[in-house]
Amino acid sequence: MVDGDGESENTDGAADSSEGEASSEAPDPGAAEPSGEPTGEPAPGPEVPEVPGGELASNTYAGPLGTRNHTGTDAVALTFDDGPDPNWTPKVLEALRERGIKAMFCVIGAYAEANPDIIADIVHDGHTLCNHTWFHQFDLGTWGEGEIRANLRRTNDAIEKAAPGAEVKYFRHPGGQWTDRAIGVAAELGMESLHWTVDPSDWDNGTTEAEIRDIVLERSGPGSVVLLHDGASNQEDMLGALGAILDEFENRGYAYTPL
């Protein structure tokens, strides 16, 4: 499996066909498909600019099928998919904590169930949670509405068990393979469907640290939603690139929003 469509921008409304693979070392969810659904004080992050008149930018929902692919302000959103991973997610959290950055984590339900302490740390540090299905099902959007609902609820239930009271305000379909049905069910469950602006293919073992860094820096701008992975299979290169990315974003004066 692969995460992202290999493009930094996707505003033509066509559904994507690829996205990051869930870590092969993650635990078996232990159920047939489809199926029903801290550490120290976090440092404060940069303030997000207010939107004049409360209106979002016109390109906020320019993703496939009208999904959100920009923040709607000048602030940038860092999003991390396919975790939590017991080896890499804590390292990402530490890197963000050191700089006071709030981000979004699009988590897989089976891994949330297996790593509840990491989910609790994500919430404790003030990051936003996003539902990334129970076990990274690429074809989820083709299932029946009841099956989709059961999968997303099961994922949210695992998150809620790990971090009671935590909100899950967003849904990201694996591979960006959006369908109106999946978007509609997510909306019924109170979740907004979130795509991305920049995909450096950090899910691909063939993508180097330098390539990840360069693609993100070349293609990011105010309002970008950046797709990265704390899960999948190339976390070492992603983490290596992350420091340089954050350094340059700081030089550009970007604020961050966890959405």
Catalytic residues: 81, 229
Whether omega for the bond prior to residue 29 falls within 30 degrees of 0, making it cis, is no
Residues 132 and 194 sit within 8 Å (Cβ to Cβ): no
> What's the rounded Cα separation, in Å, for the pair 230 and 236?
9
Tell me how far the alpha carbon of residue 171 is from its chain's centroid: 9
> What's the rounded Cα separation, in Å, for the pair 32 and 157?
17
- State whether residue 134 is helix, strand or coil: coil
Tokens of 200: 């450096």
Residue 236: Cβ within 10 Å count: 13
